[in-house]
């Protein structure tokens, strides 16, 4: 008997980036923080896919922190605006990693 396939969900991830030649970050930046919404059957898959996409884009992901699914975040009382929900819906519909925000770090 085969195990039923788990439906994908969208996970909110915070990715810390280091520097890499040609990464497109401002010259004086020491790295960046990036909010991503990534589809996956579990958070581990969402993290793997996000790291793979960022590496393919010549970025240098150093650390990824997961903030859960939409339902998990709502249960924690997070205020999630419609724009953010729309990006999550898009990530799910396209089975994709959506970069929602990039904040360069300057030390």
Over residues 22-31, the pLDDT tens digits come to 999 999 999 9
User: Where are the strands (E) in the chain, listed by range?
Assistant: 9-18, 31-40, 60-69, 97-105
Task: Specify the pLDDT at position 78.
Answer: 93
Whole-angstrom Cα Rg for the chain = 15
Task: Of 31, 53, 1, give the one whose Cα is nearest residue 13.
Answer: 53
Q: Which residues of the chain have pLDDT under 70?
A: 1
Task: Specify the pLDDT at position 1.
Answer: 66
Task: Specify the pLDDT at position 59.
Answer: 95
Question: Which residue's structure tokens are 């205020």?
Answer: 79
Alpha helix segments (H runs only) across 32-79: 43-56, 70-75
């Amino acid at each position: 008997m085969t195990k039923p396939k788990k439906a994908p969900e969208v996970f909110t991830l915070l990715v810390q980036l280091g520097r890499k030649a040609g990464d497109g970050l401002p010259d004086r930046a020491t790295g960046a923080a990036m909010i991503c919404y990534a589809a996956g059957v579990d958070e581990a898959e969402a993290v793997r896919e996000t790291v793979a996409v960022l590496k393919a884009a010549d970025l240098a992901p150093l650390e990824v922190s997961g903030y859960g699914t939409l339902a998990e975040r709502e249960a924690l009382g997070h205020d999630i605006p419609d724009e953010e929900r729309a990006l999550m819906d898009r990530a799910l519909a396209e089975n994709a990693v959506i970069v929602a925000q990039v904040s360069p770090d300057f030390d």
